Structure 1
Amino acid sequence: MSQSAPRVTESHANPLLDFTDLPLFDQIRPEHVAPAIDQLLAQSQSALDKVVAPDFPADWKTIAQTLDVATEQLGRAWGAVSHLNAVADTPELRAAYNAALPKVTEFYTNLGSDERVYAKYKAVDPATLNDEQRRAQHNALRGFVLGGAELQGAAKERFAAIQARMAELGQKFSENALDATDSFAYFATEDELAGVPDDIKAAAREAAEAGGQPGYKLTLKLPSYLPVMQFGSHAPLRERLYRAYVTRASDQSEGEAAKFDNTAIIRELLALRQEEAQLLGYANFGEVSLVPKMAESPQQVVDFLRTLADKAKPFAERDLNDLRAYAADKLQMADPQAWDLAYVSEHLKEARYAFSEQEVKQYFPAPKVLAGLFKIVETLFEVQIREDSAPVWHPSVKFYRIERNGQLLGQFYLDPSARAGKRGGAWMDDVRARWLRPDTGKLQTPVAQLVCNFATGVNGKPPLLTHDDVTTLFHEFGHGLHHMLTQVDEHDVSGISGVEWDAVELPSQFMENFCWEWDVLRHMTAHVDTGEPLPRALFDKMTAAKNYQAGMQTLRQIEFSLFDMLLHTQPARAADFQSLLEEVRREVAVIHPPVFNRMANTFSHIFAGGYAAGYYSYKWAEVLSADAYAAFEETANADGSPNVETGRKYRQAILEAGGSRPAMESFKAFRGREPSLDALLRHQGMA
């Protein structure tokens, strides 16, 4: 009798139980969730019971054939449900997701803390494993310890209860942030939109008409909110939008939106994380968070952030002085407020560098940008990208495949547009990992999802991307390449799996650099009306402005990162987290927002997105990515184009290795030494 989990053949009955190929996103309905997840949980539990039997062999492949095959199917089905919950939220789907969440959390909590499975993995002889399997075994044993496998009795029960409650709170935090954002709409008049670009006004007009309303519908989704803040000359409108934006999901929310307040959720989450840390024998959650990361201690992270803050602060102070002087001299604003800063910044940038984001955007129609991104990836990493077909969750979603010499390496979905019911921000997620399947002996290729929130096209034109949007697209694609180009066959360390969290941003931030290379950029631009490529003179102005306000932007990231780490290492401050945030601002920031600002209440990265005591990872990995990119600068071809041999070396050392070895080893395999801060400071004009 086969020990692998039975394959479900009646795929038509429940699309979530069809694992023959890609998820049937177009067929999944809320009513499919409960029966499918219940069946897969039962299958996984049965596999777990088999593996922990005393006579079951402590053999890596035999365990994988039984347990990993069952849990991988559960993971794929639950991943599809979670994904739809993030990109196509409906009341019915949300209810189905929330009903299944406690059961899924309970299963994984029990699995991760099961001392019998832990003992079985410990008994596997490392001498029988290859390097990839040894790394996966090392990670698994560490995961069991962090999962509470060494806890006993009441402590173990409490640990499980904490995990269940934290999953529930994280989901509720995310829902509140989405609902608070979606609940706001303001119908502006023509006069109030003075200065706002025509395409933004056209989109706002279309949105109002779609709801049968007069005027222009403004929302707190970034494609609507940000251009008004940057270009709208009507200060009362900017103030209204700013106040609504920075008080989302907080005690400062007004009217109906008050019911989405995340304050109590934040306090409870922090208390539970602290309790979890103490159960595991750590002083605080910051210590727990760093166990599987590159950084060695919370103090090392805090020191790193403060060192960077000291280097950036003089540049940030200069940025702010320039801003204030320009506001007073040219805009008659003696004391610009928080809602004026984006507006003043955009005007100063236009005055100093003689171009505007609006002008640049005309050269970046989404299809042209995508073609340019594919070209650089194909050239540098010696692959081919082709359009492919798969069931999708929304008509705007596209599907592609990546090949090398006709051989499939991976596939990906691209969901570019902002819409109601879709979580804000941009992210990459995996649908499935590369895996030499132990049940069939066949190689499973990796599949990724790349999600952005760009504006949609108006008046029959394609969507236009800001240069920031272009950078975001390259960033998420870097994550996707890390996942799809892996050559590792062991599920738990292939692609992004098993990569230290503070190194996982290296490939994504690395790709952003190409958005500043003329040789790359000129191939991905065509004016939306004339088809003309981006003029060199405009590119030179953009490059001159590249590090515009880099000091202030760096301090903003440090402010978030330092707040996150101090919050998770000073449990006594959790009840009054807002005062800790204000203290951090007094220490590192040059801009101090109004007292009603409640940034923490929508800080989903750390309260609903896995970055708790890990937000510093963006800055940490930026050091790695800047230094890695410096290798391309050092070896560039005579015409400035990137060297393909350096691309091959990077691909093999970093992308293909995935999580199969420590990130520092992969970095040193590429660079020949440990990373240095110099390249980052130079790239940001702060050397």
Structure 2
Amino acid sequence: MNTNPLLDFSGLPRFDTVQPEHVAPAIGELLTRYQALIDDLTARPDAPTWDSFAAPITDMGEQVNRAWGIVGHLHGVNDVPAWREAYNATLPDITRFYSALGQNLALFAKYKALRESAEYATLSPARQRILDNEVRDFRLSGAELAEDQKPRFKEIQEELAALSAKFSENLLDATNAFAEYVTDEALLAGLPEDSIEAAREAAQRDERDGWKFTLHMPSYLPVMQYADSRDLRARMYRAYATRASEFGEAERDNTPLIARILALRVEESKMLGFASFAELSLVPKMADTPEQVMDFLRDLARRARPHAQRDLDELRAFARNEFGLDELQPWDMAWVSEKLRVQRYDFSEQEVKQYFPEHKVLEGLFRVVEGLYGVTIRPDTAPVWHPDVRFFRIERAGGAGSELVGQFYLDLYARETKRGGAWMDEAITRRAVSGGVQTPVAYLNCNFPSPVGGKPATFTHDDVITLFHETGHGLHHLLTRVEDLPVSGIHGVEWDAVELPSQFMENFCWEWDVLTGMTAHVDSGEPLPRALYDKMIAAKNFQSGMQTLRQIEFSLFDLRLHHDFVPGGDRTLLQLLEEVRDEVSVVRPPEWNRFANSFSHIFAGGYAAGYYSYKWAEVLSADAFEAFEEARGAAGTVLDTATGRRFWDEILAVGGSRPALESFKAFRGREPRPDALLRHSGMAEAA
């Protein structure tokens, strides 16, 4: 029996036994097996069929992806030196293998032959789409390059993978390297009690007096939003805004990595015959051209800008009149905004936070999922990578009892060894296997504050929205009914549509009949008062204009960076960013702000030339949620099971087995419209 847990595919990942020393042997063995299979299949003289060719490749590919997925997951949630070293040591082998796979002309020829065979017409639409995607992806992987160009293309892929991993590690290390120790209690004025307690416990762990504040979100955000000390806010802001830049340790500076990443992406796209990396990036997406996306972003900016300017003018006037701040600095924005919110709407986010203890939030989240889709979520046990991680199963009533639909891990709290942000990833994907169907498993990861002072963790309303968002991604993966892995769940879904189910879920966080079942004051146990809810709704679109322009700024910068920017040319990256801000922004950060150095989405994630997809999918998600609003009249609640079943059937269940636009139209009966998004954002009058 093989004792390497990474080679055990009989069930859930064996987080209780897997160690860094298992990585190289397991991945090496799997890649050897995979290569042997490919050599055998491509050498066969007979015509390829689905069962003799595509199926065994899928089977073997899944084993590699499952094993490497565990390694990548642990690199993200347990980034200790041993796991970092194991991941980075094996990453070049994985990258090199898949780069060579994408350029294997014999394999490409087999896929093309199968796609052009008589069998193709007899295959299911899902399998036809898989073959279409495979042929497309071979072309994007350089399969049709001249033989003398292929080695260089492989080198580019390998270097890009290493640079992306290094970018993420530099950012985590730079974030962890900073600490602000406060010994003067007066500097804590304005901060919530739970933030002060967390900072005190953090200092005690370091055997220091006073309070420790860091750049991790549960520590950083309360300082920026509540600390009355302008100097403390300014120090924290500068540290955060200059992470992984030339202002810190040279070995953590992401500036040279960004330059190299951009240059390699340009080289890659030119080799494949595209005018820019943005054009290459859009091939598998819903959008057709960079110009189409830029028109979309600029049109949205035009609609949002008057609202954003009004937001900023109001904030500046308030800061000047109430606090004598003639010049509103970036480290003042969140603090003054919170003061204005409290004055205008008579509540604070900290007040709301007390009504969202963790256990009630999870109860409410699960109630929404169960109500919409007729499933049940139950706690379960499984090996985990940290004691705080929990495990759940999703069941549906069947003819002979409960049927297992899927399972998921929930890792809610921030840790120094865990990368920032929130994300969903797959552990196991649904597919048909011998004897039945393999149920999917997902990872849901957040970076929320953990319990302090003997009380349960409490979440801000923004935290709740984030949790619903990631759960939406998880449901896309877990509620699929597709049984062919390459288009099951989130697989094969166009990247600019993959945010639809996640952003769709956010809408429920604003519904009274949802919130009433997920709130209980952390001290009194009282539910969220209706009066406070009404204030939250009144404040829902507070500064939505500025928030919209901020996202458009990021999106347009990303797109132009990968479309009309020349790395090493006359115009610097910072100059391009200023051009974008001149066009769409109303708020300008200091010249020393190094936002790009921490823009992980596009330099260490999958969003290069694709960050716009958040706004693109927001149109889809708001329009989709409008169907539930329309059903409210008949059902009396947005938790309408009939509409939820249609959303499951037409969006979640089909995964990537058909184009996303077709799925949307099947659900809504028409093309998407921006009206609902503008209405939800309080900008309908600008349409």
Is residue 2:598 matched to residue 1:602?
Answer: yes
Match of 1:679 among 671, 676, 680: 676
Contact 2:47–2:113 (CA under 8 A) maintained in structure 1:
no
SS of the residue corresponding to residue 154 of structure 1 reads coil
Shift of 1:638: 5.3
The one of 645, 650, 654 equivalent to 2:651 is 654
Partner of 1:393: 385
Matches within 5 A, 1:375-394: 375-394=367-386
Identity of aligned residues (%): 60
User: What amino acid is the match of 1:288?
Assistant: L
1:37 to 12, 18, 27: 27
Is 1:292 the counterpart of 2:284? The answer is yes
Per-residue deviation at 1:112?
A: 1.5
Q: Kindly indicate whether the alpha-carbon contact (under 8 Å) linking 2:476 and 2:655 is maintained by their aligned counterparts in 1.
A: yes
2-structure distance, mates of 1:55, 1:181: 56
Hey, what does 2:36 align to over in structure 1? 46
Distance 2:55 2:658 in 1: 23
Contact kept, 8 Å, 1:180 with 1:248, in 2: the verdict is: yes
Alpha-carbon distance in 2 for matches of 1:297, 1:456: 44
What does 1:167-566 align with in structure 2 at a 5 Å threshold? 167-189=161-183, 190-253=185-248, 257-405=249-397, 406-437=402-433, 440-566=434-560
> Relative to 1, partners in 2 of residues 1:641 and 1:568: Cα closer, same or farther, differing over 3 Å?
closer
Deviation per CA, 1:17-61, whole angstroms, max 9, x where unpaired? 111101001211111111111111111111111111132541112
* Aligned residue type for 1:88: N
Question: Aligned-pair distance for 1:639?
Answer: 3.3
After superposition, the Cα gap between the structure-2 partners of 1:599 and 1:56, relative to the gap in structure 1 and judged at 3 Å, is farther
Structure 2 counterparts to residues 62-81 of structure 1, below 5 A? 62-81=52-71
Deviation at 1:441, TM superposition (A): 4.8
Aligned partners of 2:262 and 2:567 also within 8 Å: no
Amino acid at match of 1:213: R
The answer to whether the 8 Å contact 1:448/1:483 transfers is yes
Question: Which residue of 10, 15, 19 maps to 1:20?
Answer: 10
Higher mean alpha-carbon deviation, 518-527 vs 631-640, is at: 631-640
Whole-angstrom distance in 2 between the partners of 1:579 and 1:653: 44
CA-to-partner distance for each residue in 1:471-516, whole Å, 9 max, x for gaps?
0000000000010000001100010000000000000000000000
Task: Give the SS at the match of 2:148.
Answer: helix
CA distances 1:378-421 after superposition (whole Å, capped 9, x unpaired): 01111111111111000010111111111111110000000111
CA offsets, 1:132-172, max 9 Å, x none?
Answer: 10011111111111011111212111111100000010000
Is contact 1:284-1:571 (8 Å) kept?
no
Partner residue, 1:590: 586
SS of 2:622's equivalent in the other structure is: helix
Any residues of structure 2 matched to 1:48-197 within 5 Å, and which? Answer: 48-55=38-45, 57-124=47-114, 125=117, 126-189=120-183, 190-197=185-192
Instruction: Give SS of 2:586's match.
Output: coil
Partners of 1:51 and 1:684 in 2: CA distance: 54
Contact 2:355 2:522 in 1 (8 A): yes
How far does the alpha carbon of each residue in 1:569-593 deviate from its partner, in whole angstroms, 9 at most, with x for none?
0142566211101111111110000
Structure 2 residue ranges without an equivalent (≥5): none
Q: Is the 8 A contact 1:177 1:248 kept in 2?
A: yes
Structure 1 CA distance, aligned partners of 2:355 and 2:34? 51
CA distance in 2, matches of 1:131, 1:67: 19
Unaligned runs of at least 5 residues, structure 1:
1-8
Q: How far apart are the structure 2 equivalents of 1:639 and 1:664?
A: 29
Report what 1:4 is aligned to.
Answer: none
Report the AA paired with residue 103 of structure 1.
D
Matched position secondary structure for 1:52: helix
Secondary structure at 2:555's aligned position in 1? helix
Q: In the aligned structure 2, how far is the partner of 1:574 from the partner of 1:526?
A: 56
**Partners of 2:235 and 2:467 in 1: how far apart?**
30
Q: Does structure 1 retain, via aligned residues, the 8 Å contact 2:263–2:567?
A: no
Kept in 2, the 8 Å contact 1:509–1:625? The answer is yes
Deviations, residues 611-670 of structure 1 (Å, cap 9, x unaligned): 000000000000000000011111114533432111111110000011000000000000
Q: Distance in 2 between matches of 1:292 and 1:329?
A: 51
Aligned counterpart for 2:626 among listed residues 622, 625, 630: 630
Contact 2:12 2:382 in 1 (8 A): yes
CA contact (8 A) 1:50 1:56 kept: no
Residue 424 of structure 1 and its aligned partner are, at CA, apart by 0.3
SS at match of 1:502: helix
CA contact (8 A) 2:259 2:567 kept: no
Please, what is the CA RMSD of the aligned residues? 1.0
Of stretches 451-460 and 65-74 in structure 1, the one that deviates more from structure 2 is 65-74
Supply the distance in 2 between the matched residues of 1:75 and 1:678 (Cα, whole angstroms). 40
**1:644 and 2:641 aligned:** yes
Give me the whole-angstrom Cα distance separating, in 2, the residues matched to 1:574 and 1:546.
43
Q: How many residues align?
A: 672
Deviation at 1:442, TM superposition (A): 3.0
* Secondary structure, counterpart of 2:149 in structure 1: helix
Partner Cα distance (2:636, 2:55) in 1? 52
Partner of 1:619: 615
Aligned partner letter, 2:646: K
Amino acid at match of 1:19: F
CA–CA separation in structure 1 for the residues paired with 2:171 and 2:224: 20
CA distance in 2, matches of 1:336, 1:65: 61
Instruction: State whether residues 162 and 276 of structure 1, in contact with CA within 8 Å, keep that contact through their aligned partners in structure 2.
Output: yes
Q: Distance in 2 between matches of 1:249 and 1:56?
A: 54
Tell me the alpha carbon deviations over residues 165-222 of structure 1, each in whole angstroms, 9 at most, x when there is no partner.
Answer: 0001000001001100011111012121111111000000001001101110110001
Measure, in 2, the Cα distance between the counterparts of 1:358 and 1:640. 28
CA distance in 2, matches of 1:202, 1:666: 48
Task: Output the CA distance in 1 between the equivalents of 2:663 and 2:638.
Answer: 24
Amino acid corresponding to residue 611 of structure 1 in structure 2: Y
| Counterpart Cα distance in 2 of 1:341 and 1:499 | 37
Determine the C-alpha separation between the residues in 1 that align with 2:9 and 2:449: 34
Distance in 2 between residues matched to 1:621 and 1:484, nearest whole Å: 20
Deviations 1:90-132 (A, max 9, x none): 1111111111000000111111121111111111121231111
Structure 2 letter corresponding to 1:315 = H
- In the TM superposition, residue 66 of structure 1 has moved relative to its aligned partner by 2.6
Distance in 2 between residues matched to 1:436 and 1:604, nearest whole Å: 35
